[in-house]
């Protein structure tokens, strides 16, 4: 129902470790030319994914264990950098329904809220513990409210 207030979200999580993950990393600039946001989710973290793959590592957004994740758990100053609506749009269209992080860029936070993608804050230890739980048991369901 349109306008329905959501008080609780439940879903599998995806960990994204690191402070100061900026909007350029979330969605590289070359994908900003789209007229609509259709398909933008497939480009989330594209450069980070490629860079890690070249080192034989797997980014969480390319890791099959986290396919279908709905709740992103990040660290400090998530979404910093340039103010582009494309960053939260790419996360939402990838499948993210909510984010838990230590802190956010103010503009990124506002853009997420405008998209009905709530951003929750938690201290460092809580975020790290959630990331550990998700990594060690990917099908774990998280509940945020």
- Count of CA atoms in the C-beta half-sphere (13 A) of 98: 19
Residue 1's pLDDT band (boundaries 50, 70, 90)? very low
Question: Is the whole model's pTM more than 0.85, yes or no?
Answer: yes
> What HEC string does 28-87 produce?
CHHHCCCCCCCCHHHHCCHHHHHHHHHCCCCCHHHCHHHCCCCEEECCCCECECCCCCHH
pLDDT, tens digit, for every residue of 91-117? 999 999 999 999 999 999 999 999 999
Token code pair at residue 83: 């103010």
Is 32 a residue whose pLDDT tops 70? no
| Distance in Å from the first CA to the final CA of the chain | 19
CATH number of 9-144: 3.20.19.10
- Please check whether residue 105 is in contact with residue 26, taking contact to mean a CB–CB distance below 8 angstroms: no
Q: How confident is the model at residue 6 (pLDDT cuts 50, 70, 90)?
A: low
């Amino acid at each position: 129902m349109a306008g329905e207030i959501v008080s609780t979200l439940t879903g599998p999580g995806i960990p994204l470790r690191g402070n100061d993950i900026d909007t350029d990393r979330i969605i590289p600039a070359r994908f900003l030319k789209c007229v609509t946001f259709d398909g933008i989710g497939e480009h989330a973290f594209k450069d980070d994914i490629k860079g890690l793959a070249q080192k034989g590592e797997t980014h969480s957004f390319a890791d099959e264990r986290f396919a279908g994740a709905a709740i992103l758990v990040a660290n400090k100053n998530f979404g910093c950098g340039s103010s582009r609506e494309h960053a939260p749009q790419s996360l939402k269209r990838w499948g993210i329904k909510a984010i838990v992080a230590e802190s956010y860029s103010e503009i990124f936070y506002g853009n997420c809220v405008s998209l009905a993608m709530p951003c929750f804050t938690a201290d460092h230890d809580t975020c790290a513990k959630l990331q550990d739980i998700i990594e060690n048991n990917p099908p774990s369901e998280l509940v945020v409210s």
